[in-house]
Chains A and B, each alone.
Chain A
Amino acid sequence: MQVDTRINGCPVTLGCAAGEFLATTLRRSGYLSVRQGCDTGSCGLCTVWLDGRPVLSCCTLTARVGGREITTIEGVAEEAAAFARCMAAEGAEQCGFCTPGLTMTVLALRRELEAPDEEAINRYLAGNLCRCSGYAGQLRAIKTFLGVG
């Protein structure tokens, strides 16, 4: 089937089978920043925005994105780079595999929550797993990026 959508502001027609999930379609279409991790909705690696809201592309049927706006990290590159500088300053990542998904969730958090405290940040990011950082550096970087101490 053909699905007309917009990705990072550009009109795109995606070809997919019924039952195909968006992470698979996006990667096949060259959006390789979208990681495939657990593929069961648990790890957050595949996070993209759908109409500005963070969703798991491994659990979003591609057929459902017709007429909607998808944003990957390339669509928010400048803001993502600013966050990346905070992450680098804190030594907050090792392998970096989870970083695009984490970044998309952090940028969504920035839009949704005003001056979040540490507990609110932790709650919002509970669906983004990292298996090498231990989260402490990430949390420092996020607080710096958000300007919440």
Chain B
Amino acid sequence: MLHIDRHLFVASLDEAAALLAADPHSAVLGGCGFLRLGARRIGTAIDLSRLDLDFIRADEASIEIGAMTSLRTVETHPLTAALAGGVLARALAPIVGVQLRHALTVGGTVAGRYPFSDLLTALLALDARVELHAGGRIALADLLNNPSRRDIVVRVLLPRDERRAAFADLRRSATDFPLLNAAVARCADGFRVVVGSRPGRARRSPAAETHLADHGLDRATAAEAGRLAAAELPFGDNPRGSGAYRQSVCPVLVQRALLEVLHAG
């Protein structure tokens, strides 16, 4: 059961950081959509929702998404909905329902490093960077690989380039958590192949990416990239499926996403 001792709306990120440092049981609130999924006691709930972190804006080089921006806004905003072929909107659409996506936030998802996340898989394929209040700007992949870091996500930054990306997933029912998901991208400097909900956190497959870089993208290399990703990445069991099943599904999802990129031209 969830228990919160006190709920504070902070007036600045510095205040939030001080509260976070002062109390090991404090937590920064995101959209709170998944708070009820586990038993948890929070000493001080630190609320950033009055810090004007709900925004999507862009310059020539990048798109910035504020930490308190909802997933529904990312799904529908002109700057993000069509980015890289619409991969973000495609990844977000199956997450439960419109109502929950209005609540869930980008910062909460990134800071939560949820292994089942569809958004994190897509963001990795887009080479997302994260701005942390204390830690500055780091690659999302580095944040995901350092779960002990206790900092505040301020914004997510996406490069504005000509990459084409695609997302594929398998779910036991339409709005369930993914049994497995995959996102791929073809960029100026090569390919990104990411597999998430394995059920571990989303991770790139260097073997698959190298194969595509060396041999180009066609039907045969897409299939081989899928096999390489399945051989390289770890898969595990959870109530939604076994590791062996996930490993069998992985080549199919990776291939589907790569073929979508291929056919998009």
Given contacts A60-B103, A61-B32, contact A127 B47 (CB under 8 A): no
Q: Decide: B4 and A19 in contact? CB cutoff 8 A.
A: yes
Instruction: Select A105's contact among B7, B29, B99, beta carbons within 8 Å.
Output: B99
Given contacts A58-B36, A108-B98, contact A127 B175 (CB under 8 A): yes
Nearest-CB residue, chain B, relative to A40: B36
Nearest-CB residue, chain B, relative to A104: B99
Q: Decide: A126 and B175 in contact? CB cutoff 8 A.
A: yes
| B59 contacts chain A at the CB level, 8 A cutoff | no
| A1 contacts chain B at the CB level, 8 A cutoff | yes
Q: Decide: B4 and A18 in contact? CB cutoff 8 A.
A: yes
| B102 contacts chain A at the CB level, 8 A cutoff | yes
| B245 contacts chain A at the CB level, 8 A cutoff | no
Q: Decide: B5 and A54 in contact? CB cutoff 8 A.
A: no
| A103 contacts chain B at the CB level, 8 A cutoff | no
Instruction: Tell me the smallest distance from the CB of B29 to a CB of chain A, in Å.
Output: 7
In chain B, positions 1-45 with a C-beta closer than 8 Å to chain A are 2-7, 29, 31-37, 42, 45
Task: Tell me the count of chain B residues lying within 8 A, CB to CB, of chain A.
Answer: 30
Instruction: Select A44's contact among B29, B47, B49, B97, beta carbons within 8 Å.
Output: B97
Q: Decide: A1 and B7 in contact? CB cutoff 8 A.
A: yes
Nearest-CB residue, chain B, relative to A56: B99
Q: Decide: A124 and B98 in contact? CB cutoff 8 A.
A: yes
Chain A residues near B103 (CB, 8 Å)?
Answer: 55-56, 59-60
Nearest-CB residue, chain B, relative to A21: B36
Given contacts A60-B103, A64-B47, contact A126 B174 (CB under 8 A): yes
Count of A-B residue pairs with CB < 8 Å: 81
In chain A, positions 53-93 with a C-beta closer than 8 Å to chain B are 53-56, 58-61, 63-64
Q: Decide: B102 and A53 in contact? CB cutoff 8 A.
A: yes
Nearest-CB residue, chain B, relative to A123: B93
In chain A, positions 30-61 with a C-beta closer than 8 Å to chain B are 39-42, 44, 47, 50, 53-56, 58-61
What is the CA–CA distance of A122 and B33 in the complex, to the nearest angstrom? 22
Q: Decide: A54 and B99 in contact? CB cutoff 8 A.
A: yes
| B96 contacts chain A at the CB level, 8 A cutoff | yes
Nearest-CB residue, chain A, relative to B176: A42
| B100 contacts chain A at the CB level, 8 A cutoff | yes
| A138 contacts chain B at the CB level, 8 A cutoff | no
What is the CA–CA distance of A59 and B174 in the complex, to the nearest angstrom? 20
Q: Decide: A44 and B99 in contact? CB cutoff 8 A.
A: yes
Chain A residues near B29 (CB, 8 Å)?
Answer: 61
In chain A, positions 94-145 with a C-beta closer than 8 Å to chain B are 105, 108, 123-128
Could you list some 19 contacts between A and B, CB below 8 A? A1-B7, A18-B5, A18-B45, A19-B3, A39-B36, A40-B36, A40-B37, A55-B99, A55-B103, A59-B31, A59-B100, A61-B4, A61-B32, A61-B45, A63-B7, A105-B97, A126-B94, A126-B175, A127-B97
Using a CB–CB cutoff of 8 Å, the interface residues on chain A facing chain B are 1, 18-19, 21, 39-42, 44, 47, 50, 53-56, 58-61, 63-64, 105, 108, 123-128
**8 shortest A-B CB distances, which residue pairs?**
A127-B97, A19-B4, A63-B7, A18-B7, A18-B4, A54-B99, A56-B99, A59-B33
